C-alpha cells in the first residue's frame, strides 16, 4: 500500500463542471483514475471481506464461475473505513450530487469469477432502499481491468416517472407486490430509443451513477476475475421512506420515521469532515 501513498492526495482535477453536467443529464459518468492510489487498499479489503463474510453474503455458482456479493461491512473492514473516510469519494460525491454534504449509506462488494454466465439483470437501486431523494450517487470501482463484464447503464433513466419493478436476482421473482406500480424490466438492447452507456475500465477508474439510474452487467466469460467495490452516498435532501416490503439492506432496529434524515450515528456525514 505504501507505494500508492504519493497518489492519494485529494485532487480537484478529476471532477469538473462538464463531468457534473454529464452526471446530472445522463445519471452516470465514468471518472478515470480517481481511485488509482487506492487499488491495493480496496483489493485487501475485498479479500478480507471474502474471508470474513457477513450473514448477508451470497456466493452463487453459475456456469463455470460464481458471483459473490456482500454489503454493509465497512465499519469492520479497516481498509474500507480508510477508503470511505480518507479517499476523495465523499468530496466527489458531494460535487456530482450538487449537495453541501455527502452522507455515507453503505458499501457493497461484487466479485464475478471467471466463467460466470448469468448477467446482472437490469434494475434501479432506489426501490430496494429505504432512502429517497434527488441527491444520490453510487460509485462502482473495479480493481481489475474490465471489458466484457463492465457496468451498463441506461442514460437518462434516473428521470423516468416510474421505477423498474425490483426483482430478486437469485430467481427473478418480484421483490414487492403491486406490479402495476412499476415499469417492467427493460431490454435496452432491443429498444433503439434507449442509450446504453458502458466503458472499458482500468483499476481505479470509477463509474458514478444515480440510485435511480437503470443498470446491469453481462456475465464474465473471460479468464479473469472482476472484483469491484461500490460505495453509496446520499446528499442534503435524502430522507427515510417506507417501501411495500422488506428493504435491502434491511438495517433492523433503526428507529427512523418517514421524512427524517438518515441517522448520522449509523450513516455518517463524511464531507465536509
11: in domain: no
In whole angstroms, what is the distance from residue 84 CA to residue 271 CA?
10
In whole angstroms, what is the distance from residue 105 CA to residue 163 CA?
20
Higher pLDDT, 247 or 138: 138
270: in domain: no
Give how many domains the chain has, as a whole number: 1
User: What is the mean predicted confidence (pLDDT) over 49-56?
Assistant: 96
pLDDT computed for residue 220 by the predictor: 93
CATH value at residue 104: 2.60.120.620
In whole angstroms, what is the distance from residue 80 CA to residue 172 CA?
30
If we measure between CA atoms, which residue out of 9, 68, 16, 69 comes closest to residue 35?
Answer: 9
Instruction: Give the residue numbers spanning the domain of 89.
Output: 19-259
33: in domain: yes
| Strands of the chain, DSSP E | 28-31, 58-62, 65-71, 102-112, 120-123, 131-132, 136-142, 151-154, 196-198, 206-209, 215-217, 226-234, 239-240, 269-271
Using N-to-C axis directions, what is the helix angle for 17-26 and 89-97, rounded to 10°? 60
In whole angstroms, what is the distance from residue 242 CA to residue 156 CA?
25
In whole angstroms, what is the distance from residue 121 CA to residue 156 CA?
18
- pLDDT higher than threshold 60 for residue 8: no
User: What is the mean predicted confidence (pLDDT) over 146-153?
Assistant: 95
pLDDT computed for residue 248 by the predictor: 83
- pLDDT higher than threshold 70 for residue 1: no
1: in domain: no
113: in domain: yes
Going by pLDDT thresholds of 50, 70 and 90, the confidence category of residue 2 is very low
4: in domain: no
User: What is the mean predicted confidence (pLDDT) over 1-15?
Assistant: 53
User: What is the mean predicted confidence (pLDDT) over 45-68?
Assistant: 92
6: in domain: no
Say if CB 88 and CB 34 are below 8 A apart.
yes
User: What is the mean predicted confidence (pLDDT) over 83-112?
Assistant: 98
Amino acid at each position: 500500500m505504501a507505494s500508492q501513498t504519493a497518489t492519494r492526495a485529494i485532487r480537484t482535477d478529476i471532477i469538473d463542471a462538464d463531468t457534473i453536467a454529464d452526471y446530472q443529464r445522463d445519471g452516470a459518468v465514468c471518472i478515470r483514475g480517481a481511485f488509482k492510489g487506492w487499488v491495493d487498499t480496496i483489493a485487501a479489503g475485498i479479500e478480507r471481506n471474502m474471508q470474513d463474510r457477513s450473514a448477508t453474503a451470497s456466493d452463487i455458482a453459475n456456469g463455470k464461475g460464481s458471483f459473490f456479493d456482500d454489503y454493509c461491512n465497512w465499519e469492520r473492514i479497516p481498509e474500507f473505513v480508510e477508503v470511505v473516510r480518507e479517499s476523495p469519494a465523499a468530496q466527489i460525491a458531494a460535487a456530482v450530487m450538487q449537495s453541501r454534504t455527502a452522507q455515507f449509506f453503505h458499501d457493497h462488494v461484487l466479485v464475478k469469477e471467471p466463467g460466470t454466465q448469468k448477467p446482472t439483470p437490469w434494475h434501479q437501486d432506489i426501490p430496494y432502499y429505504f432512502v429517497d431523494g434527488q441527491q444520490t450517487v453510487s460509485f462502482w470501482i473495479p480493481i481489475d481491468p474490465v471489458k466484457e463484464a463492465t457496468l451498463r447503464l441506461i442514460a437518462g433513466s434516473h428521470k423516468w416517472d416510474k421505477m423498474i419493478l425490483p426483482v430478486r436476482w437469485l430467481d427473478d421473482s418480484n421483490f414487492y407486490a403491486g406490479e402495476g406500480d412499476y415499469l417492467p424490466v427493460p431490454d435496452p438492447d432491443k429498444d433503439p430509443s434507449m442509450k446504453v452507456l458502458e466503458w472499458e475500465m482500468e483499476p481505479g477508474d470509477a463509474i458514478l451513477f444515480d440510485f435511480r439510474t437503470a443498470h446491469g452487467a453481462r456475465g464474465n466469460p473471460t479468464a479473469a476475475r472482476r472484483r469491484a467495490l461500490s460505495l453509496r452516498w446520499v446528499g442534503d435532501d435524502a430522507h427515510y421512506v417506507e417501501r411495500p416490503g422488506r428493504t435491502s439492506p434491511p438495517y433492523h432496529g433503526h428507529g427512523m420515521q418517514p421524512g427524517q434524515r438518515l441517522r448520522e450515528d449509523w450513516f455518517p456525514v463524511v464531507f465536509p469532515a
